[in-house]
Structure 1
Amino acid sequence: MTAPELLPYGTPETPRLSVRGEAHLQVDPEIARLSIAVTARGTDRTTTLQDLTHRNTQALNLLKSHSNAVEKIETGLVTIAPQLTEKGRHERIRSYHGSVYITATLTDFTILGELTTRIAELPFTRVTGPWWALRPHSPAHAEARRRAVQEAVQRAREYAAALGAELTALLELADDGAEHTGHAAPPGGIRRARAGGYAGAAPAPELDLEPQQQSVHAQVSARFAITPPRL
């Protein structure tokens, strides 16, 4: 037999008060991510691989040349696959398609517009983004939690005062789950592909990108002991 659940209602001599505290912050992003897809295609597997390797190196070198602004470069999925003709008795390989996916994390937004357009100018390269975000351990999360606790205490004091009572002790404080609501790519996010480049091309125009603010939410539940109310 299980023990009966203890109800947290308190008694007339030691009443309890439960409240919830919340905080919502709008803060500037700390990082921006660009998704880069480098592709190659051809009728010969070796040539396609060579083209893909060369274009991947071009993209990586361009990112590394901005090492002061680019915090992290990560290579994701790599594919090289044959493209077949229609299925049937005479099925054969028509061509080869290859792709490399790269994610670049930037901390300096002043170079973001220029770097984005320079990447988009690379042959057979697509860039998508930016994706604005906060770091996992951003001070904004701690600030939101602090404000949520402060609001819980303030609420409890106001409820107690309305009863002619005072807070005497904190019995419990529970984190209801701090939540960061980041924003996906802004409408009209950058998508640009080039089928090829040419020598002597004019410099790519620099995009003017405005960082998108991030929403940070924290919520706590608190239970207090209060003096007997004056009813």
Structure 2
Amino acid sequence: MTTPPAPAPEPGPHGTPDRPRLSVRGEARLEVDPEIARIGITVNARGRDRRSALDDLTRRNAGVLDLVKTYGEAVEHLETGAFSLTPELTRHGRGERVRTYHGTVHVTAELADFTALGELTTRLADLDLTRVDGPWWALRPTSPAYRRAREQAVREAVQRAREYAEALGTALVALTELTDTGTEDVRAAAFGPGRMRRMSMAAPAEETDAAPLDLEPQRQHVHAAVDARFTMRPPAL
């Protein structure tokens, strides 16, 4: 009975003279338009007693939600966050007495229609005791921009490896490892949002509605990187 020959050992981390290994990194950086924008809305209310403050806050919050919902499909996501109702104590006099109550509700809205965003932001900022923060520009988690960046990073890794092999007068044989080192939105991590803030009392009847804000979308920077390892034919050095 003939014993089959033992398979050739796999090359170590640095390869072998017979099977040299080549390690490269491929990267891609894309600049794309944002797909969504988020705004934060803070609704405030106050009253001399707890019940009046709560009733006022409930009314103002309902008005904000109704206004946002009138934009229909332009609003992709709407949620209510933190709620608080806090007593304010008097600073003078004997004992602790409640001077007034302050109520707050935080609402977040996410829009994909940036024309509607400018109009909605202006209308919200024009409401009594309402503050608007944002917008925060972003890509959806499923954005095709991330896929394009990953594909471009892989192509760059293969191209770079081929160039190194050609410089040695040889060619690639096989891919032995491909590692995704991460895809991220660089702009979102590096830059904060713009801020719009207005806390207003009721406008006089003769005032007309404020013109919609002209918001310029902030370009998003997507970065992807991969580490790739190849084996190549032994070069003639």
Q: What is the TM-score of this pair, normalised by structure 2?
A: 0.90
Q: How far apart in 1 are the matches of 2:151 and 2:98?
A: 62
Provide structure 1 residue ranges, at least 5 long, that are not aligned to the other structure: 1-5
Q: Which residue of 2 aligns with 1:205?
A: 211
Name which of 132, 142, 157 aligns with 2:137: 132
Q: How far apart in 1 are the matches of 2:223 and 2:92?
A: 54
Q: Tell me the secondary structure at the aligned position of residue 72 of structure 2.
A: coil
How far did residue 17 of structure 1 move?
0.1
Contact persistence 1:141–1:216 (CA under 8 A):
yes
Q: Tell me the secondary structure at the aligned position of residue 197 of structure 2.
A: strand
Q: Tell me the secondary structure at the aligned position of residue 54 of structure 1.
A: helix
Q: Which residue of 1 aligns with 2:170?
A: 165
Q: Tell me the secondary structure at the aligned position of residue 140 of structure 2.
A: coil
Q: Which residue of 2 aligns with 1:190?
A: 196
Q: Which residue of 2 aligns with 1:217?
A: 223
Q: Tell me the secondary structure at the aligned position of residue 192 of structure 1.
A: coil
State the structure with more CA Rg. Answer: 2
Q: Tell me the secondary structure at the aligned position of residue 178 of structure 2.
A: strand
Contact persistence 1:35–1:101 (CA under 8 A):
yes
Provide structure 2 residue ranges, at least 5 long, that are not aligned to the other structure: 1-10
Letter in structure 2 aligned against 1:48: A
How far did residue 87 of structure 1 move?
8.4
How far did residue 13 of structure 1 move?
0.6
Contact persistence 1:124–1:196 (CA under 8 A):
no
Q: Which residue of 1 aligns with 2:124?
A: 119
Contact persistence 1:129–1:191 (CA under 8 A):
no
CA RMSD of aligned residues (A): 1.6
Q: Tell me the secondary structure at the aligned position of residue 122 of structure 1.
A: coil
Q: Which residue of 2 aligns with 1:37?
A: 42
Q: Which residue of 1 aligns with 2:61?
A: 56
Q: How far apart in 1 are the matches of 2:139 and 2:58?
A: 32
Letter in structure 1 aligned against 2:214: D
Q: How far apart in 1 are the matches of 2:204 and 2:103?
A: 21
Q: How far apart in 2 are the matches of 1:46 and 1:172?
A: 65
Tell me: CA distance 1:199–1:53, structure 2 relative to 1, closer, same or farther (3 Å): farther
How far did residue 184 of structure 1 move?
2.4
Contact persistence 1:31–1:135 (CA under 8 A):
yes
Q: Which residue of 2 aligns with 1:95?
A: 100
User: 1:100-149 CA deviation, whole Å, 9 max, x = no partner?
Assistant: 00000001011111111101111110111111000111111111000000
Q: How many residues in Structure 1 have an aligned counterpart in Structure 2?
A: 224
Letter in structure 2 aligned against 1:176: T
Q: Which residue of 2 aligns with 1:229?
A: 235
The sequence identity of aligned pairs, in percent, is 58
How far did residue 180 of structure 1 move?
1.5
